[in-house]
Amino acid sequence: KNEVEQSPQNLTAQEGEFITINCSYSVGISALHWLQQHPGGGIVSLFMLSSGKKKHGRLIATINIQEKHSSLHITASHPRDSAVYICAVMYSGGGADGLTFGKGTHLIIQP
């Protein structure tokens, strides 16, 4: 089965630090999602990427299609950023194939 690998699995940092979460996948994709999930909560889509780089507030997502790799960066991290961040891909099937998810990165930002 095609896999989505995320690293690190767990990350604890101090408020204000620059955070990077990485995602790699094995075969061609149509799109890659970065998702956020707070404990006990639903899922919020942060970014959907098919190429290049996107920025929203303190969040930046990049993707390198040739290397099959994406990163999510958080600048000036804050305790409210504490959540699970999940990378999910849609493979190049042409239709609605559903998403394949990474195992998530559990981020804790300490004040």
Partner 1 sequence: DTEVTQTPKHLVMGMTNKKSLKCEQHMGHRAMYWYKQKAKKPPELMFVYSYEKLSINESVPSRFSPECPNSSLLNLHLHALQPEDSALYLCASSHLPGQVGTGRALYEQYFGPGTRLTVT
Shortest separation between residue 104's beta carbon and partner 1, angstroms = 6
Nearer to partner 1, 6 or 77 (CB): 6
Taking CB under 8 A as the binding criterion, the range among 16-24, 44-52, 56-64, 66-74 that sits at the site for partner 1 is 44-52
Q: CB neighbours of 90 closer than 8 A, spacing ≥ 6?
A: 29, 30, 31, 32, 33, 97, 98, 99, 100
By CB under 8 A, name the one of 7, 50, 64, 75 that touches partner 1: 50
Q: Are 85 and 104 in contact (CB under 8 A)?
A: yes
Residue choice 8, 28, 41, 79 for contact with partner 1 (CB under 8 A): 41
Q: Which is nearer to partner 1, 17 or 22 (CB)?
A: 22
Q: Does 11 bind partner 1 (CB under 8 A)?
A: no
Task: Give the SS3 label for residue 109.
Answer: strand
Asked whether the bond before 8 is cis by omega within 30 degrees of 0, the reply is yes
